[in-house]
């Protein structure tokens, strides 16, 4: 199987869908222009600098929508697609995806932006959204990584349950054996990339 893996923002579309969503909310009068713009731009700069706290950002951008009827949110999102996303659409990206599809490649989009924004973009590109989930958190309970009430503020509005899992990282070798485990009790805590690289450097390469 051949994978064709694409980033979404500034690759398949000519802009950053998450930051532009914040600008759109300002233009629509949904949020305070000055205060929200300063915070939105600050988060965007953190992202460009490689130090974005993704959960803090999601609490910020999704929190302003909390309590609004889903019908209103759907209309807002469609207006965003029809105006903002249309303005940064790349026909060349559509053609590139079509070329890979004709070759029988499995298409994949990787993005850190929430699916409320990205799902309709992926649908328009013809790339199916695929989620690997543990809907009843049965595996989380068995592994003792359940985090009751740990879902970040605002995400419940979009159908996420209040319970989630503790941040967990596993690294396995080519035989499927676990070589590294990191478990945190705070969703903002993550190991530095250098930690992963040290583990990977000590692993024995798979036989060719």
- Among residues 7, 32, 74, 82, the one annotated as catalytic is 7
Residue 6: how many CB atoms within 10 A of its CB?
17
Indicate the pairing of strand 106-110 with strand 3-7: parallel
Q: How far apart are CA 111 and CA 113, in angstroms?
A: 5
In eight-state DSSP terms, residue 85 is I
- Contact criterion met (CB below 8 Å) for 199 and 179: yes
Q: How far apart are CA 152 and CA 66, in angstroms?
A: 12
Q: At what angle do helices 70-80 and 115-125 cross, to 10 degrees?
A: 50
User: Is 27 annotated as catalytic?
Assistant: no
User: Is 86 annotated as catalytic?
Assistant: no
- Among residues 9, 16, 18, 147, the one annotated as catalytic is 9
The set of catalytic residues is 7, 9
């Amino acid at each position: 199987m051949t994978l064709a893996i694409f980033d979404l923002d500034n690759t398949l579309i000519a802009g950053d869908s998450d930051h532009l969503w914040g600008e759109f909310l300002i233009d629509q009068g949904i949020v305070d222009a000055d205060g929200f713009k300063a915070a939105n731009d600050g988060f965007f700069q953190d992202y460009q600098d490689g130090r974005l706290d993704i959960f803090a950002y999601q609490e910020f951008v999704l929190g302003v929508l909390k309590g609004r009827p889903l019908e209103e949110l759907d209309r807002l999102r469609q207006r965003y697609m029809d105006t903002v996303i249309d303005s940064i659409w790349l026909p060349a990206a559509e053609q590139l995806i079509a070329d890979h599809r004709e070759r029988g490649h499995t298409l994949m989009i990787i993005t850190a932006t929430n699916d409320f924004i990205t799902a309709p973009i992926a649908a328009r590109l013809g790339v199916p959204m695929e989620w690997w989930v543990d809907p009843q958190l049965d595996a989380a309970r068995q592994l003792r990584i359940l985090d009751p009430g740990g879902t970040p503020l605002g995400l419940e509005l979009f159908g996420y349950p209040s319970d989630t899992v503790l941040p967990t990282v596993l690294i396995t070798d080519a035989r499927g054996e676990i070589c590294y485990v990191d478990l945190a009790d705070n969703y903002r805590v993550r190991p530095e990339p250098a930690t992963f690289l040290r583990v990977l450097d000590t692993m024995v390469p798979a036989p060719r």
